[in-house]
Structure 1
Amino acid sequence: MVNPDNLNTALQWLNTTITHCLEVYFSNTEEYEPEPISLFPDNSWLPNFLEQRHPSLEEFTLPLLALAPHLQPDFFSKIIAKFLPDGGDFPEFGGLRGTNHRGILPTGETAQFVIAGDDLEKRLEVQRILSNDHWFAREHILWLEPVPEGEPVMSGRLTLNPEVVEQLTLGTTSKPRFSMDFPAEPIETDMEWSDLVLPATTLQQIREIEHWILHNDTLLHDWGMKKRVKPGYRALFYGPPGTGKTLTATLLGKETGKQVFRIDLSRIISKYIGETEKNLSRLFDKAENKNWILFFDEADALFGKRTDIRDAHDKYANQETAYLLQRIESHNGLIILASNKRGNLDEAFSRRFQSIINFPMPKADDRHTLWMNTLPEQLKIDEQIDWHSIASRYELSGAGILNIVHYCALESLAAPERTLDNTRLEQAILREFIKEGKVV
């Protein structure tokens, strides 16, 4: 829970600081040194920020400046009105109006005025803190909005990560909603590892990914491997549709307590030059430092082989691939790519995977296990059905078997007096083969 007293204390401290800065500017009074702030240790974002980061005065002031309009829309307007009661232009203070917000939104220039005044050295220090090299930007906590070409970079809006705003105001962060800014959806399952029927070699490789999730922090920090090992883990799942790739990714998240997001590639890929990179950038920025599992299903659409450059389209398609390579390699979480065929992916991607795992079509014994695991106890089944024979005769994926059982169960519920016999079962299998475009 958030302690409102801490937010009130922080806003009062900021109000006092800005007021004294304006007094110095308008009345030529002596320079003001802000008093240290004291907050209640309530395990919320702001006290933790002070305790864990030990920020400088500038680093503490910047998030508060960006937060203030979220708490009090007229925060800056009321302070300035004390010194300019008749209104008037005040470019030194910076700030701008939003599309919907009617108060003043702080810019980098606002931060420079409040923190540094006319002190050029201090103003440059504020600019350095707001550069891409500072941990504010690297950890996507605070940044400046881009400005039109030719305008001063510090005239960009001072922006606090919306998740940090939620942490500061609500004490928690909600799950991101599916949108153009975050074209991914959380996936969960009620199944367990026992429901997943895979070859022993495939299961062993999956366990290696689980070991990375559980022990990576210890390896990097306690064992000192951070300077030698790149952040994150990249795995490729390849095999025919319905062989368990999505379920495996979901179970990895369930087993290790991590949220799994399936990426909708159709929402990322754009025919407009540069838009695909922007969409990917927003996605990876959102996922950075979250310990999420990103699952790119049917990744061939975006991660396919690069082509020889014959026209502008090929050039920009290759640029998208190169950009994606860079973002995948620098991401510090687990990324899983799923493809129907390993050969569909660019070799440049393959070299960057720690694991490349084959999900083959299940063999006859595995198909028998899948049939037995999937059939509900309530389904009335003719004893004449030879399930070993069915498993041997019909090559089906786990998803295909589930579809058939689902269809048979619904038919049984609709006509409970009828028993599932060989004829009805084979009709259901034929229906699935036709749906999949197979010839029996």
Structure 2
Amino acid sequence: MNFATLYRSVKVNLHQRVLDFVHLLVQNRLRHYTGAATSDFLFDKASSQAILHTERFKAIFKNHIPTDEELIIILLALVPHLQPAFYSHLIQEFFPEGGDFPEFGGVKGLNHRGILPTGETALFVLAGSNLEKRLPIQTLLHHNAWLSQSGILQLEPVKAGEPTMSGRLLLDEEVVELFTLGKVLPPRFSNAFAAERLATEQEWSDLVLNDYTQQQIRDIQIWLQHNHTLLYSWGMHKKIKPGYRSLFYGPPGTGKTLTATLLGKHTQLEVFRIDLSQTVSKYIGETEKNLSRIFDKAQHKNWILFFDEADALFGKRTNVRDAHDRYANQEVSYLLQRIESYPGVVILASNMKSNIDDAMLRRFHSVVHFPKPNAAERLILWEKALPQQAKLADAVDLANIAQKYELTGSGIINVVQRVCLEFLTQNLTAITNDILEIAIRKEMEKEGKMV
């Protein structure tokens, strides 16, 4: 039956359309291969176009219009996510007695018991045994081809000596989610993805920074707004590298993380925090693997990557004394390479600028200082932090408290939380100086400061 007619006459959901299309496609190839059909007909053009122009596939491909061959390779990789025994049952139709069928390719997974398609599967389905047709299809799976460069599908690397096309067709997890669920789920923090998604209900008005720091943050906002025009409409991609790299440095609690989060919030970009002190592994080679997974996932999504505790990897590089020193320096070089090639915003955070290696500093577009707030800024922080319900006693002089105690923004929030809980617990009518002083003393002792 002509698929275009089927789509017009029967309301079939997209998942079933894909299964039916690939079933007919592979069936036609197997018929031709076994001699049951003399024609090399594979599919009706209208059938592939009907799938291509659905909303979910438009969302996957964005502005690119894939060829039929690219679309079919993606569909071949997608099918096991919909029907685990799909390929096993199809092959059994033609080879009921079983046996090896190496021409079809395919491998078993560690957990998946059905057949997982490989590059050889794509070559067989699209070109059969025709070498002249197989070679152009093979180029579609090259790492420089659109499928790989877009991040939609990769050909799994194989062991040395194995045919390249014996690698599995690996669809990006988000492509699978978008097709099967209709939406992309935020990645979860795990050993395989050591990055935490940052979000906030706060606004720029909640952030208290000095004028110079604000101007430097404005520079990043300008880049986010105009970088695409600068690089591609003005042709500057030939002269400057993609991406924007910034160092945020200053004491804990001065707004580095909140600033990065707000940059994402107001540009509708996801922000992910990578704690380098947790990502760096004592095992040689593991740090590169941990970081590679993050960059590979972020590469085509324009995420803002916020590397916290940057000193853990970007501290002053050591002289090479042993194998671990050599690999430590290699880890720095690897991350430098990935950061410089990343097309989005990368922010590194450190407590002190002097902790960061000089070679790294030269690669930043901006170095932004987040100093401790002065007395005037602390007063604003106090006023913003205290909720309206928590009334202050008449004797409380916030200006004097702001002048007297050198707390950071996060320190002030901690104090306010303590006094508000005390206010509620004791059913007070107002917060007194004594309550404030006790909470401030506890906070400063926690930070190791003299009161």
| Structure-2 residue corresponding to 1:151 | 162
Which of 7, 10, 23 lines up with 2:31 in the alignment?
23
| Structure-2 residue corresponding to 1:237 | 248
| Structure-2 residue corresponding to 1:253 | 264
> Which moved further from structure 2: 340-349 or 308-317?
340-349
Write the mapping of 1:329-340 to structure 2, written as runs, cut at 5 A.
Answer: 329-340=340-351
Write the mapping of 1:259-338 to structure 2, written as runs, cut at 5 A.
Answer: 259-338=270-349
| Structure-2 residue corresponding to 1:73 | 84
Residues 378, 278 of structure 1: alpha-carbon distance in 2 compared, 3 angstrom cutoff: same
Q: What is the CA distance between 1:345 and its match in structure 2? A: 1.0
Q: Is the 8 A contact 2:151 2:300 kept in 1?
A: no
User: Would you say 1:396 and 2:404 are equivalent positions?
Assistant: no
Q: What is the CA distance between 1:378 and its match in structure 2? A: 2.2
Q: What is the CA distance between 1:374 and its match in structure 2? A: 1.4
Return the alpha-carbon distance in structure 2 between the equivalents of residues 427 and 335 of structure 1: 40
Residues 73, 270 of structure 1: alpha-carbon distance in 2 compared, 3 angstrom cutoff: same
Return the alpha-carbon distance in structure 2 between the equivalents of residues 345 and 391 of structure 1: 32
Give secondary structure in 2 for the equivalent of 1:335. strand
Residues 412, 241 of structure 1: alpha-carbon distance in 2 compared, 3 angstrom cutoff: same
> Which moved further from structure 2: 173-182 or 126-135?
126-135
User: Would you say 1:100 and 2:111 are equivalent positions?
Assistant: yes
Q: Is the 8 A contact 2:275 2:309 kept in 1?
A: no
Q: TM-score, normalised by structure 2?
A: 0.91
Q: What is the CA distance between 1:419 and its match in structure 2? A: 4.3
Structure 1: unaligned runs, 5 residues or longer:
none
User: Would you say 1:364 and 2:375 are equivalent positions?
Assistant: yes
Give secondary structure in 1 for the equivalent of 2:240. coil
Return the alpha-carbon distance in structure 1 between the equivalents of residues 432 and 191 of structure 2: 48
Residues 376, 60 of structure 1: alpha-carbon distance in 2 compared, 3 angstrom cutoff: closer
Residues 99, 245 of structure 1: alpha-carbon distance in 2 compared, 3 angstrom cutoff: same
Return the alpha-carbon distance in structure 1 between the equivalents of residues 409 and 238 of structure 2: 42
Q: What is the CA distance between 1:249 and its match in structure 2? A: 1.1
| Structure-1 residue corresponding to 2:198 | 187
Listed one character per residue, the Cα deviations across residues 319-355 of structure 1 (whole Å, up to 9, x for unaligned) are 1110100111111111111110011111222122112
Residues 48, 423 of structure 1: alpha-carbon distance in 2 compared, 3 angstrom cutoff: closer
Q: What is the CA distance between 1:128 and its match in structure 2? A: 2.2
Residues 349, 17 of structure 1: alpha-carbon distance in 2 compared, 3 angstrom cutoff: same
Q: Is the 8 A contact 2:60 2:178 kept in 1?
A: no
Give secondary structure in 2 for the equivalent of 1:256. coil
Q: How many residues align?
A: 438
> Which moved further from structure 2: 415-424 or 59-68?
415-424
| Structure-2 residue corresponding to 1:137 | 148
> Which moved further from structure 2: 231-240 or 35-44?
35-44
Q: Is the 8 A contact 1:289 1:333 kept in 2?
A: no
Listed one character per residue, the Cα deviations across residues 246-305 of structure 1 (whole Å, up to 9, x for unaligned) are 111111122222222111334421111111111111101111221221111222112222
Which of 172, 175, 188 lines up with 2:183 in the alignment?
172
User: Would you say 1:429 and 2:429 are equivalent positions?
Assistant: no
Q: TM-score, normalised by structure 1?
A: 0.93
Give the AA of the match of 1:328: I
| Structure-2 residue corresponding to 1:46 | 57
Return the alpha-carbon distance in structure 2 between the equivalents of residues 121 and 311 of structure 1: 52
Give the AA of the match of 2:24: T
User: Would you say 1:213 and 2:224 are equivalent positions?
Assistant: yes
Give the AA of the match of 1:141: I
Q: Is the 8 A contact 1:291 1:333 kept in 2?
A: yes
